[in-house]
Structures are given as C-alpha cells and as structure tokens.
Structure 1
C-alpha cells in the first residue's frame, strides 16, 4: 500500500507517460490519486457540449472510466499488472452547462482480476450530476 504522496507520485508519472490524447483533449486534470480514492476535475469548454449547450454524457462516462483506471493502476502496476476498462454504467442526474466538472472515484472492490469503483460527478455548487459504476479488469502488463 502506498501513502497518498507515494501514490500520487506514481500516478502522476504514469499519467504523464501514458495519458491518452482523448483524455488530454477533454481536459482531464488529476488532483489526487491513490488505490482507494481518485479526485479530478475538467473545465467545461465548448467542444464538450451537445448542440443544446449541455455537457455530453460521454464526457461524464469518460471521466469516470479514466479515474477508475488511474486508481487501479496505482495499485496494480507495481506488481507488473495493468488495469483496463471492462464495464462502465453511468447515470446522468443533472445537466452541466458551464464551470467545472468535479469527480471523485472510490474503490468498492479490490479483487485479483477485477476492481470496482463508484464515481460521483458534481458541478461547482457540489450538486450531484452523474454517478457511474466502473469495473476494471486486471491483466499482466506486457512490455
């Protein structure tokens, strides 16, 4: 188990070297990362909006999966494994038009081959806007 500082350092290094162009495109910024909790935010920008001016649901789902993947990888990469998205079930509760999307992922299951995370996404006022349950498959890392 890593301390928060060690986990963040490992996660930060992984994020710098393995972030996808997609996650960079929508502006994901990791604020804190351990193998139990990940916090991040995404500034709302025009290219994230549907034609009617609401943040696209796919943005919420993408944030959730990214956080679950980061948290899992903080825990499994040191053992020679990698976490890969397996399932993402997102429910949208309230729309966001502007400001910042804030996300918190909490690990609820740590198994040998799967980890499960619950993710809450809120607006600047702290109102719950979406929830996701994300399952991450743990597989051997092939270099």
Structure 2
C-alpha cells in the first residue's frame, strides 16, 4: 500500500487528536508526522497529556509496519509502548520522527522522537509492533 502524503487520519481515535503523517520512506524505515496542539490535548496543568505522545507513537509505528506487511496479507498491532517524557509541550505543534530499528518476521521495533516547534526533544518512545 502507498500513502498519499500528507496523510490525515480522518476516522477513529487518531482523527480525534488530529494526527497527520507528513512523510514515509519505507526503504529507510523513517516516518514523520505532526499534531497541532489544541485545548483538547492539554491536561489540567496546561501540558500536553502524555497519552497524546504515546498515541502518536503507537499509531504511526503500527501504520508504518502495516503499510509494509499488508502486501503479504499480514496485520500489525502494538505489542509494547515504553514512553519517556523529557520536557512538556504547552502549545504549537507536536513533531514525531519514527525510525525502524528491527524488521523481524513476527515483530518490528521502532524508536520515536517527539519534539516541539523549537526542535527540542520532549519524549522518547520505544515501540514493539506485532506482525500476525
């Protein structure tokens, strides 16, 4: 499957928080995307909720894996999500860069960097995706 980029997820959970896939190089295993911050993304203290960061990583890496493995009739779904929060994002845009670190027969492992508009690293995510 090939994505028409930018690709806006216009249904389901991803549509609720506004995930947009900006680029995906399947050969290099690198995907980028973003979410524009709104009041709906903030927790009571005014910071983007950590679940938004984790959701971005899970959705992008599941989609990135599925785009490749679906040609063989396989599916992809999140198996493990380990997110480390380094600094808050209060406004602007959340930028995500995902890199495949392992492409196995039954699992893929990705590293995801979440950054703010000033290109400061705000979260690191290690995602393991199950291939079935």
Using structure 1 for the length normalisation, give the TM-score. 0.85
1:30-76 deviation per Cα after TM superposition (whole angstroms, max 9, x unaligned): 00123311100000000110001000000000000111111101210
The structure 2 residue matched to 1:107, chosen from 100, 113, 121, is 100
Question: Helix, strand or coil: the match of 2:127?
Answer: strand
User: How well do the aligned residues superpose, as a CA RMSD in angstroms?
Assistant: 1.8
Structure 1 unaligned blocks of 5 or more: 1-6
- Partner of 2:54 in structure 1? 61
Counterparts of 2:59 and 2:3, CA distance in 1:
12
- Partner of 1:80 in structure 2? 73
> How many residue pairs were aligned?
129
Q: Which has the higher helix share?
A: 1
Counterparts of 2:72 and 2:105, CA distance in 1:
11
Structure 1 segments (4+ residues) deviating >6 Å: none
Quick check: 1:11 aligned with 2:26?
no
Counterparts of 2:90 and 2:103, CA distance in 1:
35
Kept after mapping to 2: 8 A contact 1:34/1:74: no
Shift of 1:11: 3.0
The structure 2 residue matched to 1:93, chosen from 86, 93, 100, is 86
Counterparts of 1:50 and 1:24, CA distance in 2:
19
Counterparts of 2:104 and 2:4, CA distance in 1:
24
The structure 2 residue matched to 1:117, chosen from 106, 110, 115, is 110
